[in-house]
Structure 1
Amino acid sequence: MDAGGPVSTHAITAGTLVRTIDSNEIVVLDVWAEWCEPCDQFASTFERTALAHRDVFFGKIDAQREGALVQELRVQALPTLLVYRRSAMVFRKAGGLTPTALDELIRQVKDLGGGDGQLQAIVHWEEEPGERMGPPLSWSEWLRRLLLHGKMQLAV
């Protein structure tokens, strides 16, 4: 990030995570490490998207500095993208997204929610260890299917 430019993302630590999630409607987190080449490739997409969506909080968790937090979040691969809406995790994916896919994800997350204040879907993208989910779907198809089923809940 350009030191002279506007701040588009914020460093998140174990001490700031809960407050950040609780005080922002939508929080998008990138769990990364300096040595991680895929993290480096995704970083510019994450920064540009943050600049385009000023109404969404974008944060970065440094896996090297925040190892205990990364373990608590059950992150097993870098980068990992975590998205929270109204303090609930609504999306989790190991690996980066294209700029178009990240923009579309944010649009979909903004559209989540019903009049009762409850989220319509909780999205969990990753398989649990030892679990088989069948052929992979594109993230947009996965999210579309979840949204079509109303209040489908998936464990995170």
Structure 2
Amino acid sequence: MATVDITKETFNDVTTSDGITLVDFWAAWCGPCRQFAPVYEKASERHEDIVFAKVDTEAERELAGAMQITSIPTLMAIRDGVVLYAEPGALPEHALEDLISQVRALDMDEVTRQAAEQAETG
């Protein structure tokens, strides 16, 4: 699956659906973003069951601000509408594959239960 560009209008629809969504926040002028792009694209071709989305932070400044993106590239991993990972930095291929494996392996019922417990006590 190729990557999909998302905007503030489509962000919630894409990221709240069931399954895994990875979101790459990037900009054309960003060197590390350009280095990460082919790694991200290659992973999107290997994992057709995952949505690989991209947000151009220059075109979508309001969305980048709402998501508190302060450094790019930032990669966000979301599963079943839950943000599980959001960190800046261009990942090498093996690290991206490891992240995908970890997100796939999570017991989302347990994640949801723990989040509910934290919300009650926090």
Residue of 90, 111, 117 corresponding to 1:119: 111
In the TM superposition, structure 1's runs of 4+ consecutive aligned residues that sit over 3 Å from their partners are 151-154
- Compare the two structures and name the one with the higher helix fraction: 2
Q: Indicate the structure (1 or 2) with the bigger Cα radius of gyration.
A: 1
Residue 8 (structure 1) shift: 1.1
Higher relative contact order (CA 8 A, sep 6+): 2
Contact 1:78 1:95 in 2 (8 A): yes
- Matched residue, 1:58: 52
Q: Percent identity?
A: 32
Residue 24 (structure 1) shift: 3.8
1:76 maps to amino acid: T
- Distance between the aligned counterparts of 1:104 and 1:92, measured in 2? 15
- Matched residue, 1:19: 13
Contact 1:24 1:57 in 2 (8 A): no
- Distance between the aligned counterparts of 2:110 and 2:13, measured in 1? 20
Contact 1:27 1:83 in 2 (8 A): yes
- Compare the two structures and name the one with the higher strand fraction: 2
Q: TM-score, normalised by structure 1?
A: 0.70
- Matched residue, 2:36: 42
Which sections of structure 2, spanning at least 5 residues, go unmatched? Answer: none
When the two structures are aligned, how many residues end up with a matched partner?
A: 117
- Distance between the aligned counterparts of 1:98 and 1:32, measured in 2? 16
